[in-house]
Amino acid sequence: MDLERRVKRRHFLVLLFMTLVWAGLLVRLWWIQLWASHRFSRHGVDLVKNAVKQRQQSIVLHSGRGDILDRNGYPFTGEEQLALLLFPLARGSLQENGGWRRLAEIVRVPETMLEDVMTKAKAPLMLRQTDGRLVPLSERQADQVNALGIPGVVALKVTERYRADEVAKHVIGYIHRNPELVRTLYPDEWAEGKMNADSTVGASGLERSFDRFLQGVEPSVLSYYVDGEGKPLKGLDIRYTRQENQYYPLSLVTTLDADLQRRLERVADSAGLREGAIVVLDATHADVLAMVSRPQYDQTKVDVQQGAWRNRAVKQITPGSVFKTVVAAAALAEGLVSPTERFVCRGDYGKYGFSCWKRDGHGALTMEEAFAQSCNITFAEIAKRIGGDKLEAYARRLGLSSPVGYVTPHLFKLDGFRQVDGEEQGRVFAEQVSRQDEGVLIQTAIGQRDVRVTPLQAANLMVTILRGGQPGQVRLVSEIAYRNGQTFFRFPEHRLPESGIDYVTAKKMRRLLRLVVTEGTGRMLLQAPWPVAGKSGTAQTGAGDGSNHLWFVGYTPVDTPRYAIAVVAAHQPAGETTRAMEIFRRAVEAIAEWPGQSSPLRAGSSPE
């Protein structure tokens, strides 16, 4: 009797356990179906959308994201064009009744090319040329393609966000899918289901800094529903979802000029600039007209670890003798030296292994001659008079110790909003380094040791001197605009909070910068089409192979300055000394030939 009771008890417990498990599974299924169908697991997977995707072949015609434009309205992020859309489900229809031949004749490509593309296709695609660009179609060709009535073969207008031959890629940046970043940046939208694991966010450049404004409407999508064999499902014809909104997505109107940008990128590539940057600023407003970074990268296939996507124009690098501009300004402003005071350079300082670049020395020379000839010994002596603390203070006053890109204290939901993504701040001394140590100070005076400056800061330094010593913020975006062209928000000019230098000192610096070209290390720039003033720099990389970072920073034309330019050619081999000046000269030539020299910002976006 006891045995029978124990058996029944065991059966009851097993049945109870199975019932609880079954009930748990039902509750779990009910929860997934009703409550978590659009946000399953911590990754926020939309089960409904994924279920539909299993029977759906889709291609995105427009991302729904806002565009990034140059100052004249040219879109850096793609333009609408007619393209041939091919779905794998069309293979069967194309093989019948000479479909391959008829389609090839219309779009004017080899029949074998079409067959090869479609045979390999596992997902819908846009027909491309061998260089990656879309095969262009006319309105007439598009009508002929669509008249064929072949399911899965369609000609429509599409907008690709990134084009292979586009410019300013480092400034624009790129987008990617990152669920954790989406959840961190957009917690409210994530909780409401407006954004999920499939949402894209800006990863770098303007795509990142203005991501909240560029996040637009739902993408425009063309879809077919297919069965298990990939054939169109009867009754479910082609579907085209397109969002029509008068105001959104928003667009960015940058201060860049696409034509000038393209010209300067050609300059960089033809001159063999493999690593470095070119920055051109409007000398009046400190607006970025062009910003080139090398090495180049593909916005659609980004190797994050390799790092080519980083914008070298806003990354700090050793400036070499360009920093003598700060030393000279500090000494003149403080009355510690006059331009005509004489010094003696014998080539060797006598200790610390410090010497002048000219082995036998420059002999007797004035301060202004020392600046033009970039004499290390003279500037070591001048730096000792200034002292480390004052030298660091003047670098800060001239905008070389903090980011100079445009900052807005509060912009809608964003505090301390910065236009320029990834901009580094620069420095004079490393932490815990003595400002009174003579060996440290003389190395700092020639822009070596711990000194770091970004090309953007260096170009803005020229603008500061041209403005009479008052530093301003560098603007990259002039306004955010609604889709209909009306202004959503305009960015007025801002000055940096630094005190700068006095007008008399700035005027003296302009004379010194001109002497560099007429009598000093920059004489090869006398061949430029416009008069140039500026400062050269050669900085040791410390790599042990004798390589250097080569600089030239200046402005042009001298009498009526309109453009401040910074050029950096990084990691140049030993013995190469003129690469940066050669690129600078070519840049001036490109600007002189540029039709849009005086092109204003787009109507309605002028500075306030």
Three-state secondary structure call for residue 275:
coil
Nearest-CA neighbor of 97 among 150, 24, 160?
150
- Cβ contacts of 486 within 8 Å, gap of 6 or more: none
Phi, psi of 510 (to 5 degrees): -65, -40
Phi, psi of 539 (to 5 degrees): -120, 130
User: Exposure string (b/e) for 321-350, b if CB count within 10 Å is 16 or more?
Assistant: bbbbbbbbbbbbbeeebebeeebebebebe
Pairing of strands 251-254, 68-69: parallel
Report how far residue 565's alpha carbon sits from residue 518's, in angstroms, rounded to the nearest whole number. Answer: 18
Nearest-CA neighbor of 539 among 313, 344, 376?
376
Report how far residue 58's alpha carbon sits from residue 240's, in angstroms, rounded to the nearest whole number. Answer: 10
Report how far residue 602's alpha carbon sits from residue 254's, in angstroms, rounded to the nearest whole number. Answer: 9
Report how far residue 580's alpha carbon sits from residue 516's, in angstroms, rounded to the nearest whole number. Answer: 15
DSSP state letter for 50: H
Alpha-carbon Rg for the chain, nearest whole angstrom, is 31
Nearest-CA neighbor of 165 among 138, 120, 128?
128
Three-state secondary structure call for residue 472:
strand
Nearest-CA neighbor of 423 among 288, 295, 257?
288
User: Exposure string (b/e) for 416-455, b if CB count within 10 Å is 16 or more?
Assistant: ebbbbbbbbebbbbeeeeeeeebebbbbbbbbbbebbbbb
Three-state secondary structure call for residue 364:
strand
Residue 321 falls in the annotated catalytic set: yes
- The one catalytic residue in 199, 209, 220, 321 is 321
CA 174, 178, 183, 184 dihedral sign is: negative
137 to each of 105, 143, 170, 517, how far by Cα in Å? 12, 10, 30, 52
DSSP state letter for 128: B
Instruction: Count Cα neighbours of 137 within 13 Å in the Cβ-side half-sphere.
Output: 28
Identity of residue 595 = P
The string of DSSP codes covering 209-230 is: HTHHHH--SPPEEEEEEB-TTS
402 to each of 31, 68, 217, 461, 589, how far by Cα in Å? 52, 27, 36, 12, 31
User: What are the catalytic residues?
Assistant: 321
